[in-house]
Structure 1
Amino acid sequence: MIVPSAGLLTVALAPVLAVQGMRIRRGIPRLPEAAGPRTGVAGGAGGASVVPSAGVSESPGAGGAAGAPSGGPHGSGGSNGSGGSDGIDRSDGSGGAAGPVFRLAVLGESTAAGVGVATHDEGLAGFLAREAAARTGRPVRWQVAARSGVNTRTTTAELVPLLEPADVVVVALGVNELLELNRPRRFRGELRELVAAVRRRLPGVPIVVAGMPPVGRFPALPQPLRAVLGLRARALDHVMRDVARGAEGVVHATAEVPIETAGFFASDGFHPSATGYRHWAEALACALPDPPGPAGPPVAG
């Protein structure tokens, strides 16, 4: 049996897809980004917590630059190791110590920006930080550099410069590329440039590229739009795998998440709820690198 490609289906069904796309844009509620601080600490002697970092603003919403430090940005030549030579406060913010702080940055589009939940503590960054803290026994300082609606090019130009020194950068992108019908070949070049830009900003930092979500199973999308977007999402995910294989220190993390779980989606049926972000973070945590330096005692629970 010959399965039509995403491109052929898109052309053949273009009139139907255009109508369904307009209806979806009008019908899906536009949820705000997560509110509150875009940096915090999870784990450590005091357990999970959210602690604003000095000089980091709260979420400005979709119209502003997410997570922009009010002080001078850290230069790309600074160390991103665990020795503290970069001038960053590496204490866990909880009044105790459980080993050096593991620094996590979440970069990308609306899911990285926590659309679907009230605060980043309930979003991808918060859950991923707590999962990493539980697995490593380290306090985890997390940062969000994200904005709803961005694509890979915008992220490279406007959000990568906001990254603070980190021990790993998790990239959550691709859905807007999908909705914009970006071609895989073009996406490949743009994703490579994103990786290069992150490396210029934070030399040697490990990068985890989150795989495309299973859009072909999203209940909010009608057929045949769901099927076509599902095929195109697989094509973009294949690009992500290839880019990761071709770059040292870059890992592609397959998004194996149980989206059929009750309560997985937020009210728009498109973005995750707190339950959805928790499941996604549990899957992504397996791809995180081991923290540098000596580990502290395991976190109970």
Structure 2
Amino acid sequence: MSFKYYLGAVIAVPLSPILYFQGKKIRRNVPKLPEAKKPQGYIKTKSEKTLKILAIGESTIAGVGVDFHENGFIGALAKKISEETNHSILWRVYAKSGYTAKMVRKRIVPKIEETNADIIVIGLGGNDAFKLNTPETWMFQINLLIRTLKRKFPKTPIYFTNMPPIKEFPAFTNVIKFVIGNLVEILGKRLYRRVQKKSNVHYNNEIITLETWQKKYNLEGDVDIFFSDGVHPSKLTYQIWGKDMAQFIIDREKF
């Protein structure tokens, strides 16, 4: 077991009652936003080639915080890839708010109707951290998920997005940011080490910080501009994140 996780767990034990009551208060105060509508779309260009992209994961991939998926993560990602490659893009989302890696594998993957895809993008980690899943549990489920997807799409590259920046969530208390924020970063590091040993699997291990985004994109205002409810991304965040992830994919694929 990771020493950093073990140390964090030791610290978290006496904080458990605080985490529990603060978590309940946050759930009461944070508005329950719906998932985005229209989970599939098509970007048409003059190119004869069409790329098929599947996006799989938890609430951020499900587009919580925006009205339609075209205004969310997958919409921004597909548009960027289309602009950079000039290819048409056919995209579809399979995601559910609150789902862990295990739930995605067992409940979502069997529902995927497509028999082929050019790119699979996966966004997970937040809910596994919220449930305080150990790094070992996390990697066990991730390995099973990758194996299941590779059986279904043996030649399709798999891309894992950055971990959610839990330490930046304005709705969370400092205690929750510390415990859950550190854990999600540990899960990310374990995922990064794992994908180094796997063929055609990638993970964007850049840790998202809002200060970096503000400087990079010359954005003004406080951190609230990045969130729809203090936890989930705003349209602005989805646009930045989707474009950044698209560039990560473009740099590694020969379209």
TM over 0.5: yes
Counterpart amino acid of 2:240? H
Q: Which of 248, 272, 276 matches 2:233?
A: 272
Match for residue 153 of structure 1? 102
Contact 1:259/1:276, CA 8 A, preserved across alignment? no
Deviation at 1:41, TM superposition (A): 1.3
Which structure features the higher share of helix residues? 2
> Could you say which residue in structure 2 is the equivalent of 1:127?
76
Matched, 1:183 2:128: no
1:17 maps to what in 2? 19
Post-superposition Cα deviations, 1:202-227, rounded to whole Å, max 9, x if no partner, equal 11210001121221121111111111
- Look at both structures and tell me which one has the larger radius of gyration over its CA atoms: 1
2:248 match = 287
Name the CA shift for 1:256/1:281 in 2 (closer, same or farther; >3 Å).
farther
CA contact (8 A) 1:152 1:194 kept: yes
Residue 42 (structure 1) aligns with: 43
How much does 1:167 deviate?
0.5
2:166, 2:180 within 8 Å by CA — same for their partners in 1?
Answer: yes
- Asked if the contact 2:162/2:208 (under 8 Å) is kept, the reply is no
**How many Å apart are 1:291 and its aligned residue?**
5.0
Whether 1:110 and 2:112 are equivalent positions in the alignment is no
Structure 2 residue aligned with 1:81: none
AA of the residue aligned to 1:252: Y
Q: Which residue of 1 aligns with 2:171?
A: 220
Count residues in correspondence.
236
Provide structure 1 residue ranges, at least 5 long, that are not aligned to the other structure: 45-96, 293-301
The 8 Å contact of residues 109 and 146 in structure 1, kept in 2 or not, is answered as yes
* CA distance in structure 2 between the aligned counterparts of 1:259 and 1:43, rounded to whole angstroms: 33
Are 1:208 and 1:252, in contact at CA under 8 Å, matched by a contact in 2? yes
> Can you give the 5+ residue segments of structure 2 that lack an aligned partner in the other structure?
215-220
Aligned mates of 1:276, 1:254 — CA distance in 2 = 17
SS in structure 2 at match of 1:41: strand
Identity rate of aligned residues, in percent? Answer: 31
| Contact in 2 for aligned 1:178/1:232 (Cα 8 Å) | yes
Q: Please report how far the alpha carbon of residue 241 of structure 1 lies from its aligned counterpart in structure 2 after TM superposition.
A: 0.7
Change (3 A) 1:8 1:215: same
How far apart are the structure 1 equivalents of 2:27 and 2:142?
26
Aligned-residue RMSD, C-alpha: 1.7
Answer yes or no: is the 8 Å Cα contact 1:212–1:254 preserved in 2. yes
CA separation of 1:9 and 1:221: change in aligned 2, threshold 3 A: same
Match in the other structure for 1:57: none
Aligned match of 1:32 in 24, 34, 46? Answer: 34
Deviation at 1:43, TM superposition (A): 4.7
Residue pairs, 1:243-258, within 5 angstroms: 243-258=194-209
Aligned mates of 1:227, 1:43 — CA distance in 2: 44
What TM-score results when the alignment is normalised by the length of structure 2?
0.87
Question: Match for residue 166 of structure 1?
Answer: 117
